[in-house]
Amino acid sequence: MNVLLGRLLASVSVCAAAGAIDGILTGFVFGLFRDEFANQPRPASKLLIGALILAGAGWAVVLFVVGVLYRFGIRAIAIQALITALITSVATVFIVNAHLAAVGALIGLIVGLIVGTLLCKLCGWWAARTLVAR
């Protein structure tokens, strides 16, 4: 499984890999929480607070893995990784809360890859548009 995940993350952009790392972490942790406390209703405000906490943890992991271990530099990826972590964590928590706790990490992986790829495309489009405008 580690080889498969490593090959997947090596074949996508850095933004998508950062989203996937955050999504897996958020989906796994919230899936465990959701599975343990399955019968307790949670209002959307509590889910949002939990998603923001998990986004902070995922952001720290992404900064360490991508910024330090992959040597991209923490300053170079901090803002982009934070935006990706926030969107990925909030979406993953609300999707996993819909009684999908058993596959939380897989849902987080898919959501993270989609969010990371879309934000990477948006950033490329924005940079090209800005350069043309000058």
Six token digits for residue 91: 């979406």
Task: Write out the two tokens for 19.
Answer: 């989203």
What tokens appear for 36 in the block? 């343990």
* CA dihedral over 54, 56, 57, 62, signed as positive or negative: positive
Which among 21, 19, 30 has a CA at the least distance from the CA of 98? 30
User: Is the separation of the CB atoms in 12 and 23 below 8 Å?
Assistant: no
- pLDDT tens digits, 71-127: 888 998 999 999 999 999 999 999 999 888 889 999 999 999 999 999 989 988 887
Residue 57 burial by Cβ neighbours in a 10 Å radius (0-12, 13-18, 19+): middle
pTM above 0.85, yes or no: yes
Q: Calculate mean pLDDT across residues 31-60.
A: 91
CA atoms of 17 and 85, how far apart (whole Å) = 11
pLDDT tens-digit map of 6-44? 677 677 888 899 999 999 999 999 999 988 887 788 899
Using a 10 angstrom Cβ sphere, with 0-12 exposed, 13-18 middle and 19 or more buried, the burial of residue 123 is: middle
Spell out the alpha helix ranges (H) of 11-103.
14-36, 44-62, 74-96
Instruction: Measure Cα distances from 58 to 28, 61, 99, 121 in Å.
Output: 11, 5, 22, 21
Q: Is 66:81 a contact under the CB 8 Å cutoff?
A: yes
Tokens 């019968």, residue located: 39
